[in-house]
Amino acid sequence: MAGAITAHLSEKASQRPKHITESPVVRIVLIGIALLFLALIVLLPLASIFVEAFKKGIEVYVASVTDPDAISALKLTLFTVIIAVPLNTVFGIAAAWAISKFQFRGKNVLITLIDLPFAVSPVISGLIYVLLFGAQGMFGPWLAEHDIKIIFALPGIVLATTFVTFPFIARELIPLMQAQGVQEEEAAASLGAKGWQIFWRVTLPNIKWGLLYGIILCNARAVGEFGAVSVVSGHIRGETNTLPLHIEILYNEYQFSASFAVASLLVLLALVTLVVKSIVEWKSSSQQEAKE
Amino acid sequence: MSTQTNNKTNRLPIRTLLVFVALAIALAGCGNSNNAANDKKDANTANNTSASGKTNNTAEPAPEPKEAVELLNVSYDPTRELYEAYNKLFAEHWKKEQNQDVTIKQSHGGSGKQSRAVIDGLEADVVTLALAYDIDAIAEQQYLKADWQKQFEKNSSPYTSTIVFLVRKGNPKGIKDWNDLLKDGVEVITPNPKTSGGARWNYLAAWGFALKKNGGDEAKAQEFVSELFKHVPVLDSGARGSTTTFVERGIGDVLLAWENEAYLSVNELGKDKFEIVYPSLSILAEPPVAIIDKVVDKKGTREVAEAYLKFLYTEEAQKLVAENYYRPTLESVAEQFTSQFPKLELLTIDGDFGGWKEAQTKHFADGGVFDQIYTPGS
Amino acid sequence: MKGSKSRSILPGFGLSLGFTIFYLSVIVLIPLAGVFVKTAGLTWEQFWDTVTNARVLASYRISLLTALAAALINLVFGLLIAWVLVRYRFPGKKLIDSLVDLPFALPTAVAGIALTAIYAPNGWMGSLLTPLGIKVAFTPIGITIALIFIGLPFVVRTVQPVLQDLDKDVEEAAVMLGAYRWRTFRRIIMPELIPPLLTGFALAFARGIGEYGSVVFISGNMPLKTEIAPLLIMTKLEQHDYSGATAIALVMLVASFVMLLIINYLQWRSNRRVAAV
């Protein structure tokens, strides 16, 4: 476990001398199996979404993704993501810093608690906020008195999304920062660097790939969350419907093509972030090569 | 142990991260500008209101223009098309009569889930759900009076429906009545009565048929329904899920469905593929409507909310109801649609099952008759 | 690898840990406590009856078995995919690397609908498999396939970075000592991969137990046969039985927590062992 863990594919790892890699036949067989599996499990559903989306022609496709309800759902989804992802980013960095740079009791329990939202059923992740902030919930009467709406409004949707995507960034950073150790930061500190200076100049450059990757995953999951948001949204059209909920509505209205068209929009959204990530990686690796 | 050479070579400009931050900020900006755009839109509609108000004033002495009002109608799944059309009709009517703009927001979902959302604080001015039981549950939390069902005519049910069979074209399995569902090799599609309001009507209709045929012998009726559910290969959680299973996935020989859903599937998804079969006996499904007192009093929308529900009983609205395949309750309209809605013997929930509360406890509550069908070893 | 001793010269411990615990409490712990409070409304007997009802027990079994099967399959194929992506070069690799993240991005309901459409008897795969007598949609196999889809990225993405940074030198040394490829893999590479594999497996498994959105479409929801535990929670909610719903949720929550804790502990121990070498 030496060296930094990089979250992107570096060319180096695939450039291997002959004697420490497999024979060409084994390699081809392994690649073949891996690709076949991916094709069956991931590519096939994806293809079916696009086939369905364009079944009724391009006009239906365009009409359904430019529908006012679809656009308001898209806005709500993006707005939710813009609040939830930065919150979880700050948390992820703070948690990784505390866990990887210091020793304290109960660290394993803390890490497990951070993992917990992965394991909680989406149904429950929505329900917990209803139990807390719903009209019959613990804070319900107080909220009603002060006319504050959390459930069935934006704050509830943001909370549920934040919960579901809670561990992504922390999970990405903790092993990375643990592997990097504390020597560099300690060296900087003994040279008199201040807290934030150490972070910005030493730690951040070391973790930025992991961080970026965590943000992308967190973002992707936040955009696509369905179960938890469905419980707290109230499904008011044009108001509290996120994109995934809008897809469900269309599907339930027998507008299958339209619903898959909007779904394909989500896939494209995800692909765009992934492409941006690849471009950034590629640019920086070519810069790096130029430097060397 | 670690040699950290990789770190050093990997140190890249922080610019890349900044790009992402900038992207995020740009997106946030988008969100804000969107809001601004919305505000503008609101302002525009407000302007339009006053403008049209003026033209109205010159034409006839209409009441002073009032501030625009918004209602939230929390409904169940199969009423989407109906209320989309009805909301337009009512908004026009209200504008003409009261010179006030009214926007009706819709929320649709499973009936039970929607009822729960209202209890948990979804601020519905009116609810239009699949069964009275779901509104009773809201009344239990003091959101509206316990005798809410007396507030509007005909049990507060402006439209009714019933349960019919949807079969594949030509009816290859020869399904005519409830007992044909138990024939060997017949697969029946229905949603789960524990999660779907529509499925409870299905179940009760089957129960009622068996009870009648066996001269009121409950043990025989129970045998009948458990045999029926042995013919069910997929129990979807909602009515529309079942329709999709039957129509799109091609599973099953007969779908137990709301009459309106059956018509909708035939007309939307293929007249050449399915047909509707009316059994000898079915159940009168009364999807009721109600005003949520607590919400309308808080928001000051009682007047318009009451008008909204009352208008459902007018001839204009009843025609719309019939066009959306619900059975109109207004005689004059019902007569015009007799060919679409054949008369058949209908059981009623209050007359034959002692009301929803009793039916729910006996059949659908945990440990009830329905659960016994799926008890291991039975 | 080793952290600082009791006193570190690095700043920010109080701030970062304080914020971590505060945020964790607000977003996760306090809301989850609501589940306990609600369940506390039941007497012990009611609780026990609810969570050991025959149908509930059957649903735990189905959820656990399908999640376990899916996580095991993901363990094998996830490792393979990570291995191929990191070590070999082939055209379209970047694109395929991106594909792995898609299950995170796709709303679970969409995944469920798409998979059901493919594996239903009249779907692309279903029409090929049905003549062979293999039924996928509306059986536990269908549930497993949905869970494989949901869990795949967890395994690939935890294994990939570690695989990427494996020291070439150790492998070189093994070759020089005359070890065969397979032996090198088993003795040198595998031990390094076990901690991330465990984590990936645990996360995929935990996610699978709780998954709802994608499974309800493909499972068919037949009581005792393909009814999953989260669906029973929904069923209870539908009857306004909040305490019953939270009781089942609580059992699932505790099970997931204990499992994650064990895995994290195992990983921590193996980390320490590596660090001590």
Q: Which of B116, B236, B365 sits opposite C221 (nearest CB)?
A: B236
Of A73-87, A268-282, B74-88, the one with minimum mean pLDDT is: A268-282
- Split at pLDDT 50, 70, 90, the class of B167 is very high
Please give the residue of chain C at the shortest CA–CA distance from A184.
C10
Which domains are present in chain C?
Answer: 36-101+139-276 (1.10.3720.10)
Cβ atoms < 10 Å from Cβ of B303: 12
Residues of C in contact with B234 (CB under 8 A): 138, 220-222
Q: Give the pLDDT of residue C28.
A: 92
- Split at pLDDT 50, 70, 90, the class of B374 is confident
Higher pLDDT, C138 or A281: C138
Calpha distance A235→B110 (Å, rounded): 11
Chain B: partners with 3+ C-beta pairs within 8 Å: A, C
Would an 8 Å CB–CB cutoff place A4 in contact with chain C? yes
Would an 8 Å CB–CB cutoff place A104 in contact with chain B? no
SS3 (DSSP) at B320: helix
pLDDT in tens, A239-285: 899 998 998 888 888 888 899 999 888 888 777 777 777 777 677 66
Q: Give the pLDDT of residue B183.
A: 93
Distance between the two ends of chain A, CA-based, in angstroms?
A: 25
Q: Give the pLDDT of residue C146.
A: 95
| pLDDT higher than threshold 60 for residue C88 | yes
Would an 8 Å CB–CB cutoff place A226 in contact with chain C? yes
- Split at pLDDT 50, 70, 90, the class of B59 is very low
Q: Which stretch of DSSP H or E encloses residue B160?
A: strand B159-168
Higher pLDDT, B174 or C38: B174
| pLDDT higher than threshold 80 for residue A101 | yes
Q: Give the pLDDT of residue A227.
A: 84
Q: What percent of chain B is modeled with pLDDT above 70? A: 82
pLDDT in tens, B103-146: 999 999 888 889 999 999 899 999 999 889 999 999 999 999 99
Q: Which of B237, B365, B375 sits opposite C239 (nearest CB)?
A: B365
Calpha distance B288→B155 (Å, rounded): 7
| pLDDT higher than threshold 90 for residue C175 | no
Tokens describing residue A134 = 């719903």
Distance between the two ends of chain C, CA-based, in angstroms?
A: 11
- Split at pLDDT 50, 70, 90, the class of A18 is low
Calpha distance C87→B246 (Å, rounded): 47
| pLDDT higher than threshold 90 for residue A2 | no
Residues of B in contact with C52 (CB under 8 A): none
Q: Give the pLDDT of residue A290.
A: 63
Judge: A184–B5 Cβ closer than 8 Å, yes or no: no
**3-class secondary structure per residue, B83-108:** HHHHHHHHHHHHHHHHCCCEEEEEEE
DSSP C226: T
Q: Give the pLDDT of residue C276.
A: 56
- Split at pLDDT 50, 70, 90, the class of A158 is very high
- Split at pLDDT 50, 70, 90, the class of A6 is very low
**∠A69-A70-A72 over CA atoms, to 5°?**
65
| pLDDT higher than threshold 90 for residue A9 | no
| Torsions phi, psi for C276 (to 5 deg) | -75, -25
Q: Which stretch of DSSP H or E encloses residue B159?
A: strand B159-168
Average per-residue pLDDT in chain B? 83
Q: Give the pLDDT of residue A15.
A: 67
Residue bearing tokens 């196999």: C141
Q: Give the pLDDT of residue C5.
A: 43
Residue bearing tokens 């499990």: A41
Q: Give the pLDDT of residue A103.
A: 87
Measured torsion, CA atoms of residues A198, A199, A201, A203, in degrees rounded to the nearest 10: 110
Would an 8 Å CB–CB cutoff place B215 in contact with chain A? no
pLDDT in tens, C176-232: 776 677 777 777 788 888 888 888 898 899 889 888 888 888 888 888 888 899 888
Diameter of chain A measured on Cα atoms = 73
Judge: C222–B110 Cβ closer than 8 Å, yes or no: no
Cβ atoms < 10 Å from Cβ of C131: 8
| pLDDT higher than threshold 70 for residue C162 | yes
What value does the mean pLDDT take over residues A125-151?
A: 88
pLDDT in tens, B259-306: 998 998 888 877 889 999 999 999 999 999 999 999 999 999 999 999
Cβ atoms < 10 Å from Cβ of B31: 17
What value does the mean pLDDT take over residues B168-197?
A: 92
Residues of C in contact with B7 (CB under 8 A): none
Q: Which of C88, C99, C203 sits opposite A14 (nearest CB)?
A: C88
Where does chain B have alpha helices with state H?
Answer: 5-9, 15-59, 80-98, 111-119, 132-140, 153-156, 197-213, 218-230, 239-247, 259-269, 293-299, 302-310, 315-323, 331-336, 349-353, 355-359, 369-373
The contacts of residue B21 (CB under 8 Å, 6+ apart) are none
Q: Suggest the residue from B32, B120, B127, B240 to mutate for an interface test with chain A (most A CBs closer than 10 A).
A: B120
Give residue B369's region: left, alpha or beta (phi > 0; psi -120 to 50). alpha
Cβ atoms < 10 Å from Cβ of A17: 10
pLDDT in tens, A162-176: 999 999 899 888 878
Would an 8 Å CB–CB cutoff place B85 in contact with chain A? no
Q: Give the pLDDT of residue B67.
A: 85
What value does the mean pLDDT take over residues A150-155?
A: 92
Give residue A181's region: left, alpha or beta (phi > 0; psi -120 to 50). left
Q: Give the pLDDT of residue A84.
A: 95
- Split at pLDDT 50, 70, 90, the class of B312 is very high
Q: What is the DSSP string of C111-136?
A: HHHHHHHHHSTTSTTHHHHGGGT---
Are residues B278 and B272 in contact, defined by beta-carbon separation less than 8 angstroms?
no
Q: Which of B12, B106, B121 sits opposite A135 (nearest CB)?
A: B121
Are residues B202 and B256 in contact, defined by beta-carbon separation less than 8 angstroms?
yes
Average per-residue pLDDT in chain A? 85
Calpha distance A246→C198 (Å, rounded): 37
The contacts of residue A47 (CB under 8 Å, 6+ apart) are none
SS3 (DSSP) at A198: helix
- Split at pLDDT 50, 70, 90, the class of A14 is low
What value does the mean pLDDT take over residues C36-56?
A: 87
Read off the amino acid at residue C266: L
Confidence (pTM): 0.83
Q: What percent of chain A is modeled with pLDDT above 70? A: 90
Judge: C31–A223 Cβ closer than 8 Å, yes or no: no
Q: Which of C3, C34, C252 sits opposite A128 (nearest CB)?
A: C34
CB pairs under 8 A between A and C: 342
What value does the mean pLDDT take over residues B60-70?
A: 72
Please give the residue of chain B at the shortest CA–CA distance from C165.
B6
Higher pLDDT, B60 or B233: B233
| pLDDT higher than threshold 80 for residue B27 | no
Would an 8 Å CB–CB cutoff place A191 in contact with chain B? no
Q: What percent of chain C is modeled with pLDDT above 70? A: 94
Please give the residue of chain C at the shortest CA–CA distance from A277.
C98
- Split at pLDDT 50, 70, 90, the class of B25 is very low
Of A26-35, A102-111, B54-63, C91-100, the one with minimum mean pLDDT is: B54-63
Tell me, rounded to whole angstroms, the distance of Cα C118 from its chain centroid. 23
Higher pLDDT, C206 or A7: C206
